[in-house]
Structure 1
Amino acid sequence: MWIPVTVRVEDHVIVPDLDYGNIENPDQFLEDYTSSVANTPMDMSKPLWEFHLLNIKRSNAESVVLARIHHSIGDGMSLMSLLVACSRKTSDPDALVSATTTASTKPVDYMALTWWLIAGFWFMIRVTFTTLIEFSKLMLTICFVRDTKTPLMGNPEDGIKSWKVIHRVISFDDVKLVKNAMNVKVNDVLLGMTQADGHTKAQKKQILDKIRVRGAVAINLRPATNIEELADMMAKGSKCRWGNFIGTIIFPIWIKSENDPLEYVRRAKATMDRKKISLEAFIFYGIIKFTLKFFGGKALNLHFISYVNKIIINLAVDTTTIPDPHQLCDDMVESLKMIKYAAMERKSRKMEV
């Protein structure tokens, strides 16, 4: 329940006393510090938010602010809006950071209203048919069909014992190169990169062909996908939705050995195009607690965050199940290289023709 309390800033803004001069590897230090914070329970006797200020220079940042905020304080979108509202531009300290650009609305051609109705009716038939198929697959997954037992699968009864949080930075330009060459979306490339195994050998092909691995992909169910201005969200009569509104789809991960690395991206796009038409994410939103009861805890959480010309891969793993998460990052980076070179080769062949 919400109760009024007195907030002591020093209890929430933490500036650790560190010997910065003796930190040989700042990136590794931050990784260990973040993992330590992730494994420390929050103090429930005070408001559940804290900021850790680390004046440590890393390979891609001059200093670090680590925010840990309990989900009862707010959902991800509103918290991101709050953090953006608290930030200022380095070029103009008094100016707010520019918010994400909103998508432009295309005018409706009312002269073609009849065709719109026909297309809408056909779309409803596709949605109904695809939803029935995907929902049937979902229920089979929950009740009967289990993933193949692999080292990546933890024991749900053991729970999460020790979190390890790491990240890796890749070039957004590399991802966009593949996106443009294959006429797909950025998320299709990232899912394809996740599925591809950068060091798969030919002798493993028969083993991989028999393995069933599936992941849960979060889907934003909000009408607007951009980060809203905090002032707009708080305005009276605002249509910006507060609270969590995230669905989940079951995504079959294609880990079979392919001679053409681009095949992983093609399969990711085909799967996501089918999932987007269905209402699986909305249905799963309503029964997610029931589903998680069967699936148990997750051994691996994977997030992609785009920022300017970079994409940050964030991994949160249970180290008792995945002792070397850096190898997973290395494999994904290698997979992106393979896919990128294959896309460049395909593009050059088209230009020659």
Structure 2
Amino acid sequence: MEATANIATPSSSPLSVRVATEMLCADNSMAEEPMSPTGRGMEEMGICIVLVMGLGTPVNLPVFRAGIETELVTRLPRFRCIQVMDESAKDGKPQWVQTAVNVDDHIVVPRLDAAAMASDPDKAVEDYVASLSLLQMDRCRPLWEFHFLDFPTSEAASTVVLRLHHSIGDGTSITTLLVASSRSMGNPARHPAMPPPPKRTGPIYQREPRPPLSSGDYLALFAWVWSYLVLAWHTLVDMALIVATILFLSDPPTLFMRLPDGGESRRRKRFVHRSLSFDDVKLIKTAMNCTINDVLVGVTSAALSQYYFRKSGESNAKRIGLRSCVLVDARPVSTRQTYITKVETGNQLTGLICPFNIILQDDPLEYVHEAKRFMHRKKSSLAVLLTRVVGEFLVKNFGLKMGTFIFRHFFTRTTIIFSNAIGPAEHMMLCGHPVAFMAPSIYGQPQALTVHYHNYGSDIKVVLAVDDAQFQDCHKLLDDFVESIRIIKNAAALKTLTTSIHNDVTQ
């Protein structure tokens, strides 16, 4: 189907959240599956995923359409399902019900202003993707669609945008779907390679196994007992902070917080992105003996600090303590390597509240030091597991309104959403087209600023979803991310060089 440039004008009467059973394809054999509590929360809040992909060639629409039909739709059952109410259930719980799919109904080729495309094609793509954040999805069909923008930009020969409702799946399940449906650019006979798994193979909260205690080793026994006491205490403190956040505890107002409007109206989101060198991130990781996530959290803190003090004009000596809601995949890391044979389905997201500071540090490496300290502390807690368990328990037993209340207040009283997604380690061919870059994000969340990182090949994208009216200079904020990783990398390289010279002298 085609869409004009004003595609994002919302209808005066919102579409129904659920569709009637009569609208299904008349096939009694179609499977039904209850929607998960997390999926119900995503559905109620209207959170959607937007994945912008730059292609290395112009769009061959028949070839891409055939790839969607034969690869994507067949691999992920959610792409063949719509949401309906279970009429037999007293509380009217929604279910996934399979239906017939006409791929043409999910393909959008917009007609954009030719002058705008010619004068600034990057902005034309950016404006169009921003318009999607105000456009309702047709709930009479499976909640996904591809938008094709077949004109060159500074990074790609053409652009395709995948938009889908977050209740279909999370970032991991969508990434596994795309990678499992693609081929390696270097070797079309196989799937793209993923980065090697980290040493940790379980979820973030999994503790390392301890060796058997020998008899009489009382010091080791004490350390073993003490570690679990610390785990229990950290879990108790973190859960108390989460409850306080849901009820009353909020970050101080800054220019990053959403401007007050009751928190209910949907605002237009703008999605902007910039490529960073993954090698720079790994250099900092090695020099600081930390994780990639620690580096990215530190870079984010540095960039937001630079932006804040430049724009606010406040004293550079000021320190502001804020918090981010860090989205965490609850799946064990080992399962991410099995995507080729089994595409992950559903939402298995949870979250943790991580502090970060707005401050101009004399030593750029201190941003990473603080991030490492904060994240290490959060790993010694079961809060990330209990948050998801308790949230699902409340949705199941006290209804969707309670779950939505928790989700919304968990978000609105923190400053930003932060996420780091794992992508393929090499470039891929998707539906017969080379993919030059991938930039995923979300909209529907109450925050004014969301920060996503996504590695693809030798690059890592920082993707910002910003309130369009509140962050009109969002590209300058992207510049701060580029500058922050540059100065942190230079400081890390200097530290590595100094350490190497010192070791040579002392030997």
Q: TM-score range by the shorter chain?
A: 0.7 to 0.9
Task: Tell me if the contact between 2:317 and 2:360 (Cα under 8 Å) persists in the aligned partners.
Answer: no
Aligned: 1:7 with 2:101: yes
Give, in angstroms, the shift of residue 120 of structure 1.
Answer: 5.4
Aligned: 1:291 with 2:406: yes
5+ long unaligned stretches in structure 2: 1-83, 85-95, 202-208, 392-402, 413-445, 503-507
User: Could you state the TM-score of these two structures normalised by the residue count of structure 1?
Assistant: 0.84
Change (3 A) 1:35 1:148: same
Task: Tell me if the contact between 2:172 and 2:329 (Cα under 8 Å) persists in the aligned partners.
Answer: no
Aligned: 1:221 with 2:315: no
Match of 2:243 in 1: 139
The separation in 1 between residues aligned to 2:335 and 2:179, in whole angstroms, is: 13
Give, in angstroms, the shift of residue 208 of structure 1.
Answer: 3.0
Give, in angstroms, the shift of residue 50 of structure 1.
Answer: 1.0
Give, in angstroms, the shift of residue 138 of structure 1.
Answer: 2.9
Match of 1:238 in 2: none
Give, in angstroms, the shift of residue 309 of structure 1.
Answer: 1.1
Change (3 A) 1:39 1:258: same
Task: Quote the sequence identity (%).
Answer: 35
5+ long unaligned stretches in structure 1: 235-240
The separation in 2 between residues aligned to 1:42 and 1:314, in whole angstroms, is: 23
Aligned: 1:160 with 2:266: yes
Change (3 A) 1:123 1:243: farther
SS of the residue aligned with 2:123?
helix
Aligned: 1:331 with 2:426: no
Match of 1:212 in 2: 321
The separation in 2 between residues aligned to 1:228 and 1:279, in whole angstroms, is: 24
Higher strand share: 2
Match of 2:373 among 246, 270, 281: 270
Aligned: 1:113 with 2:184: no
The separation in 2 between residues aligned to 1:263 and 1:135, in whole angstroms, is: 28
SS of the residue aligned with 1:66?
strand
The separation in 2 between residues aligned to 1:20 and 1:123, in whole angstroms, is: 64
Matches within 5 A, 1:1-353: 1=84, 2-17=96-111, 19=114, 23-93=118-188, 95-99=190-194, 101-102=196-197, 112-114=211-213, 118=221, 121-154=225-258, 155=260, 157-158=262-263, 159-196=265-302, 197-198=305-306, 200=309, 204-205=314-315, 208-209=318-319, 211-224=320-333, 227-230=336-339, 232-233=341-342, 242-285=345-388, 286-287=390-391, 289-294=404-409, 295-296=411-412, 297-353=446-502
Give, in angstroms, the shift of residue 157 of structure 1.
Answer: 1.0
Letter in 1 for 2:485: L
SS of the residue aligned with 2:341?
helix
Deviates more, 1:129-138 or 1:54-63: 54-63
Give, in angstroms, the shift of residue 67 of structure 1.
Answer: 0.9
Task: Tell me if the contact between 1:192 and 1:267 (Cα under 8 Å) persists in the aligned partners.
Answer: yes
The separation in 2 between residues aligned to 1:314 and 1:225, in whole angstroms, is: 26
The separation in 2 between residues aligned to 1:246 and 1:187, in whole angstroms, is: 17
Letter in 2 for 1:7: V
SS of the residue aligned with 1:212?
strand
Change (3 A) 1:120 1:29: farther
Give, in angstroms, the shift of residue 165 of structure 1.
Answer: 0.9
Higher helix share: 1
Equivalences, count = 343
Give, in angstroms, the shift of residue 272 of structure 1.
Answer: 0.3
CA root-mean-square deviation: 3.2
SS of the residue aligned with 2:470?
coil
Give, in angstroms, the shift of residue 312 of structure 1.
Answer: 0.3
User: Could you state the TM-score of these two structures normalised by the residue count of structure 2?
Assistant: 0.61
Deviates more, 1:256-265 or 1:21-30: 21-30
Q: Alpha-carbon deviations, 1:170-191, whole Å to 9, x = none? A: 1111111111111111111111
